[in-house]
């Protein structure tokens, strides 16, 4: 018996800014997880991932992340994805360190 499919969202990083972004149902990249398209069909998820990965001038590192239906849109189900929804930490490193000087 096969396992039930776990819904997904397509996520990546914006190429220029590095921000975490999510693919919406109307083909926009949003920085808000709740605006992401919740994909509940495995074949459709693979097609959306291929569509995202082809946008090499906009994003990098596209992948499917587990999600669940929430009252305001998709919600992450894994702590890593929950952490990514909060954006960069406030610890100064890399570009953050250079900007603080």
pLDDT truncated to tens, each residue of the chain (101 aa)? Answer: 788 999 999 999 999 988 899 999 999 999 999 999 999 999 999 999 999 999 999 999 999 999 999 999 999 999 899 888 876 665 555 444 555 55
> Which H or E run includes 67?
strand 59-70
What predicted TM-score, i.e. pTM, was given to this entire model? 0.84
Measured CA to CA in angstroms, residue 40 lies from 29, 54, 97 at distances of 19, 21, 40
Tell which residue, 50, 38, 47, 33, has the closest CA to residue 9. 38
Sheet with 59-70: list strands edge to edge.
29-30, 20-23, 8-14, 59-70, 73-76
Q: Is the dihedral of CA 28, 50, 8, 38 positive or negative?
A: positive
């Amino acid at each position: 018996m096969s396992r039930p499919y776990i819904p997904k969202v397509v996520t990546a990083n914006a190429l220029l800014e590095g921000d975490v972004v999510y693919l919406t149902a109307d083909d926009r990249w949003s920085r808000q997880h709740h605006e992401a398209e919740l994909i509940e069909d495995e074949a459709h998820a693979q097609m959306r991932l291929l569509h995202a990965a082809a946008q090499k001038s906009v994003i990098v590192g596209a992948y499917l992340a587990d999600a669940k239906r929430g009252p305001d849109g998709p919600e992450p189900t894994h702590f890593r994805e929950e952490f990514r929804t909060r954006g960069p930490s406030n610890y100064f490193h890399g570009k953050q360190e250079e900007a603080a000087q």
